[in-house]
Amino acid sequence: MPKVFSPYPSDVGTSISFNQLKVELELLEVEAEKEIENAIDADSLEKLRVNLLGKKGRLSSVLGAMGNLPGPERPLVGQRANVLKKQLQGLIAERSQLLKTKLLADLVDKETIDVTAPPIGTPLGKRHPLIRTTEEIVDLFCGLGYTVAEGPEVENDHYNFSALNIPENHPARDMQDTFYLGENLLLRTHTSPVQIRYLEQNPPPVRIVSPGRVYRRDSVDSTHSPVFHQVEVLAIDENLDFSHLRGTVMAFLKAFFGDLPVRFRASYFPFTEPSAEVDVQWRGRWLEVMGCGMVDPAVLQGLGLDPDRWSGFAAGLGVERFCMVRHGIDDIRRLYTSDLRFLEQF
């Protein structure tokens, strides 16, 4: 409890001198400075302010005793008291600001979130279903002796079209079907350019699987997206024929889907001849899952390979289609919404 100051010593009655009041003001200054410095919070500082500077405060008691002084001495005591009052008000304001700053710092320390701390009760992340499907497809082909090969997503006209026997008037080269970047560059429309790049650096025999993202100017709907993922396989060796292609595709589809009916339908692709599309019977209907064919001799000749000695086959599939069939997903857009309620099912 702050000391209650009385300017009237008990042994002098109601008389007091100028020197006594001066001493009392000096003592009040020293005591008040210590008490202000030791105030621990805003409430205690406010009580101290009232005790020191209020109408019934300690400084007012000193000023009240000036009535016992001779007239010429009163202004001197009043002047000294006013200086002390301003001094104490300044000290109280500084202490108040310091206490506010300290309180804010304490709140920041208490409420700050440590983003480096390990989470509590947060579920662990899992691979996206598209990534898991891609990894499973690639693992199956690696189990058949294939090696993974990758290439750039920004390609030039040669690798994306010309080297794959796609002529200039082919619909795939239309501006409405392909994302062109200018200066003969484009976003690849398939992962087949990886096969050409690989064969330029690696003479046959080769067996590669090339997964990756591809781009086409498709309108977004339940089965189409301008960005999707492909996995393509290529095998070049001596004496390969369509029976090897069929056996590889059948072994892969059985490993991925199980014992489902499979059929091959004749089709056309610029870089394979003969070509076929492959369907599986899923939920009572035939569903196309991949395209394949024997590598066109013109593609081999463009790479400097003798088509009389070397032959090969290629096959490609859309990862989104395999993922949707595997998990019964009815809309491709669900795979790109980042909706945890959907993704947590996998």
For residue 2, the model assigns a pLDDT of 44
Which pLDDT tens digit goes with each residue over 48-71? 888 888 878 887 877 777 767 777
For residue 210, the model assigns a pLDDT of 96
User: Same domain, yes or no, for 101 and 235?
Assistant: no
Residue 228, in any domain of the structure: yes
What is the edge-to-edge ordering of all strands in the sheet holding 180-182? Answer: 154-156, 185-187, 180-182
User: Same domain, yes or no, for 103 and 149?
Assistant: no
Over 50: is that where the pLDDT of 337 sits?
yes
Which pLDDT tens digit goes with each residue over 102-153? 888 888 888 777 778 777 777 777 889 999 999 999 999 999 999 999 999 9
Helices and strands (H, E) in the chain, number of each type:
11, 10
Residue 301, in any domain of the structure: yes
Q: CA 180, 216, 337 angle in degrees (round to 5)? A: 120
Give the predicted TM-score (pTM) of the model: 0.62
Residue 312, in any domain of the structure: yes
Residue 122, in any domain of the structure: no
Which pLDDT tens digit goes with each residue over 15-30? 567 777 778 888 888 8
| Alpha-carbon distances of 272 from 1, 70, 131, 327, rounded to whole Å | 98, 122, 28, 31
Over 50: is that where the pLDDT of 172 sits?
yes
What is the C-alpha separation between 326 and 318, in angstroms, rounded?
13
- Residue that finishes a domain, picked among 83, 111, 139: 111
User: Same domain, yes or no, for 177 and 99?
Assistant: no
- Residue that finishes a domain, picked among 44, 78, 111: 111
Which pLDDT tens digit goes with each residue over 261-275? 999 999 999 899 999
For residue 40, the model assigns a pLDDT of 87
**DSSP one-letter string for 272-337:** EEEEEEEEEEETTEEEEEEEEEEEPHHHHHHTT--TTTEEEEEEEEEHHHHHHHHHT---GGGGGS
For residue 5, the model assigns a pLDDT of 42
Q: Of 254, 327, 322, which Cα lies nearest the Cα of 288?
A: 322
Residue 123, in any domain of the structure: no
What is the C-alpha separation between 3 and 298, in angstroms, rounded?
107
Structural domain count of the chain: 2
Domain of 105 in residue numbering reads as 18-111
Over 80: is that where the pLDDT of 4 sits?
no
Residues in the chain: 346
Query: Is the separation of the CB atoms in 123 and 168 below 8 Å?
Result: no
Q: Of 56, 28, 51, 27, which Cα lies nearest the Cα of 39?
A: 51
H or E stretch including 23? helix 18-38
| Higher per-residue confidence, 12 vs 213 | 213
**Phi, psi (5° rounding) for residue 158?**
-60, -55
For residue 282, the model assigns a pLDDT of 79
Lowest-confidence region among 1-10, 86-95, 277-286: 1-10
Mean pLDDT of the chain: 86
Peptide bond into 274 cis (omega under 30): yes
Partners of 269 in beta bridges: 272
**280 C-beta neighbours (distance < 10 Å), count:** 19
